[in-house]
Chains A and B, each alone.
Chain A
Amino acid sequence: MEQATQISLSVLVTKDEYIHAQAMVKQKLRAKYSPAITAAGALLAALGIAGLFFGRLVMLSAPAAVCLVLLGVFLALYDGFIGPVLNKAAAAREYNEKEDLHFATAYVFSDDRVRISNGRIQGEIPISRVTGWIETPSLIRMSVGRELNICVPKRLLSQEQAELLRGILEKHAPAAEIK
């Protein structure tokens, strides 16, 4: 029987959920410097286009100008298009690599700790040990260093449970939220 401050779940994350969550994490981590990359790409592309028309004046050959344009376009499109594709491919590879994600894990979240149980891991971790957590449209993902990843799909949570879990994380690991 579930108490008001306790959430008991049996979780099996689908590949799609994991991929989308990982891609979102990578995009948020990249957000700090992605404007600079996009701006640099736009600048290089502009220089390359200028070089195509006026390259003779600065001894810039046409092939070099084309390379500049291509590099600029690549960098400008990286954050919005290319990066997400690469991140999803990397996440798919990670999902295949991590056996733990392929079978169900039981989690019991109480006020300040989470109990974990599956065929490979048993134990209890204080929520304060969570080093990074993020909420995506489909799941809430927590990591404890590089040792442990806890993914809770929101489809398994009621609205109250989701708010409770969010509250637990905000209370005990506020600095670990990936914004």
Chain B
Amino acid sequence: MPNQKPPKIEFSVDATRREYSTAALLVERQSGYLNLLPGAVVLSAVLLFVGLCSFNWFRTAFCAIYVPLILCLCCPLVLAIFFYALPAAVKKRAERDYKTYSEIMENCSLKFFDDNMIAQTRYLTLTDPYALVGLCIETPELFVLAKDSERMIVIPKRCLPEGGREDFEIFLRQVFARRRKVMRNWIF
């Protein structure tokens, strides 16, 4: 159904590879495996503590050293998985997906209405009611509208029109008030 009212704001977006990769990490951090990051940090600390306690340094007999050793080694392993391996896998997938994203979303024009937004590209017209957008993540450089754990629209702040930048940011913050996450980077 065509919208009768003119859009509140309209502009083109052109996300770079780095911005897309960052957006993928942000979405994974909020709704994927990386959402468990704080728990992983706590778990690694607990494993290290339990492992060190199990060593019982003041005892000279070193029976059953394997379990305390494994517990202590699990600490850096868990940290390596969540701070290196998983993000690296997300970035690798994002590198692969960017090729398709940049083709599908080439010359993407975004129009924001009162209750939905329309993304017009060379191939597709995507109409998304705000109510069905799961999450809006804001960083100093980006807005990322995550429709679900897979699909997202990356809006670099540099693409926002100069005159209406502040109004648009206020508009997005109001629309996604309850579903908005402000992050400095993919970790915090």
List A contacts of B123 (CB < 8 A).
Answer: 123-126, 129
* B49 on interface, CB distance cutoff 8 Å: no
List A contacts of B166 (CB < 8 A).
Answer: none
In-complex Cβ contact of A64 among B67, B149, B151 (8 A): B67
In-complex Cβ contact of B127 among A120, A125, A126, A145 (8 A): A120
* B56 on interface, CB distance cutoff 8 Å: no
Q: Are A145 and B100 in contact (CB under 8 A)?
A: yes
Give complex CA distance A144, B105 in Å. 12
Q: Are A147 and B100 in contact (CB under 8 A)?
A: yes
* A35 on interface, CB distance cutoff 8 Å: no
List A contacts of B96 (CB < 8 A).
Answer: 131
Give complex CA distance A61, B63 in Å. 8
* A82 on interface, CB distance cutoff 8 Å: no
Q: Does more than half of chain B's interface fall in helix, strand or loop, or is it mixed?
A: mixed
The minimal Cβ–Cβ distance linking B119 to chain A, given in whole angstroms, is: 10
The chain B residue with its CB closest to the CB of A145 is B100
In-complex Cβ contact of B104 among A60, A94, A125 (8 A): A125
Known: A97-B148, A144-B100, A147-B101. A125 touches B66 (CB 8 A): no
List A contacts of B67 (CB < 8 A).
Answer: 61, 63-64, 67
The chain B residue with its CB closest to the CB of A58 is B66
Q: Are A123 and B124 in contact (CB under 8 A)?
A: yes
Residue interface mask B121-149, A partner, CB < 8 A = 1: 10111111000101000000000000011
Total interface residues in chain B, CB < 8 Å: 28
Tell me which of A99, A123, A146, A149 has the highest count of chain B C-beta atoms within 10 A of its own C-beta. A146
In-complex Cβ contact of A94 among B63, B66, B103, B149 (8 A): B149
The chain A residue with its CB closest to the CB of B103 is A129
Residue interface mask A56-79, B partner, CB < 8 A = 1: 000111011001000000000000
List B contacts of A63 (CB < 8 A).
Answer: 67
* B162 on interface, CB distance cutoff 8 Å: no
The minimal Cβ–Cβ distance linking A94 to chain B, given in whole angstroms, is: 7
Give complex CA distance A147, B96 in Å. 13
Known: A120-B128, A121-B125, A123-B123. A97 touches B149 (CB 8 A): yes
B residues within 8 Å of A by Cβ? 62-67, 96-97, 99-101, 103-105, 121, 123-128, 132, 134, 148-152
